[in-house]
Structure formats: structure tokens, C-alpha cells
Amino acid sequence: MLTLYGSKGSGSASTEAALEIAGLPYRRVEAASWQPSPGLDELKRVSPIAQIPTLVLDDGSVLTESAAILIHLGLAHPRSDLLAADPARRAQQIRGLAYIAANCYAGIGILDYPERWYPDPDDAVRQAMQARGRARLHELWQIFADQFPAAPWLSGERLGALDILAATVSKWSGARKALAGSRLEFAALLARIDADPRVAAVWARHWPQP
């Protein structure tokens, strides 16, 4: 059985949603690098830097990086519609997944951990990095929205991997609020993704409503 290491409210939500859509059984292990736990000890044995999500496949091989995991699942399980069968459309979906991973996801890392990029920042430096980083992140989401229109989904006729990753990563750093004010159609698409029953069930575990 597949084993998924992750934590509530983290990027592992995208892998969970993909596994649910593909109808694949999996074992879920709660693990996060910032919280000691038996799950974290188990994760470190397969992923030394304790990345989440980490997906261990049936053959014992290890996958990290959200975009890579989603691409693998889409290619290995074509009936899931996580990726398009048409090569041209699939190429654009992979492009979109790589864009989110390289730009939006990476930008959130700078916001959350500025000390990884600037050693021992004082409060003024930290605030400046986070303010500019947040503004740049919102710009990158606007560029994405302009480049990847919904038709009716980012993935085409059916909700797929690109929709899942966009809906996950846009939950952080005020991106949804910024998009609601600047890209209404894209914000509405994200709301439709959230409302899909398969996605909503996963979101309820990761971001329970009060």
C-alpha cells in the first residue's frame, strides 16, 4: 500500500486529494519537521530532510516534491484524469504544476523562513523581506491566472492535478484574498475546486471549519 507522510494544513493535502480522486488506497502518517512525533521518526528513515509530502510507493521507492508526486500519479493512473491524455494539453498542465512549485510554493518558503535566505535577519529586515515577498507572491498568482484560464477547469474538462495544486498552495499567505480583489474569475474557480466533494472531504481534514 502507498504511504503518505504529511501534516494538517500542509502541502500534503494536494497529494491526499489526488489519491482520493484516483481511488488509490493509502496509509496516512502524521509527520511534520517542526513537531517531534513517532511519525516524524518514521519519515526521517525514508526522507532524511523530512519533507512533506513524502509518498512511499508500493515498491518502496520514495517520492517527494508535490508537483512530481502529482505528475507521477497522473501518468501511472491515466484513468484518474489527473493529467490529460492529449500530449499538448498535458504539457501545459505539467508547465502549470512546475510554475506553482518553482514560483508560488518557493515564495512561501521565503515568507515562512526568511532566515534561510538572510542569516539572522533583524526585525526590520524580516518585515521588509516578508512584505516584498508577499507582494511578489500575489503578482505571481496573477500571472498564473492570466496564463492558465479555466476551461472549465485548469486541467480541462475535468478537475485534475493542476487544479488541486493551485487550490492548495493558494490557501497560504493571503493569496486567496488578493485574487478575490484582482482576478475574480480565477478566485471563483478556486472556490469551485474547494467545493468538489472529493476535494472538500480532504480539505475538511486539513482546514476544518470552526
* pLDDT, tens digit, 9 for 90 and up, residues 55-81: 999 999 999 999 999 999 999 999 999
Give me the pLDDT at residue 155, please.
92
pLDDT digits (tens, 9 = 90+) for 176-191: 999 999 999 999 999 9
Give me the pLDDT at residue 117, please.
80
Those residues of the chain that have pLDDT short of 70 are none
Give me the pLDDT at residue 114, please.
81
Architecture in CATH of 87-196: Up-down Bundle (1.20)
Q: Pick the closest to residue 171 from 157, 191, 156, 154 (CA basis).
A: 191
CATH class entry, domain 2-80: alpha beta
Tell me the domain boundaries of the chain: 2-80, 87-196
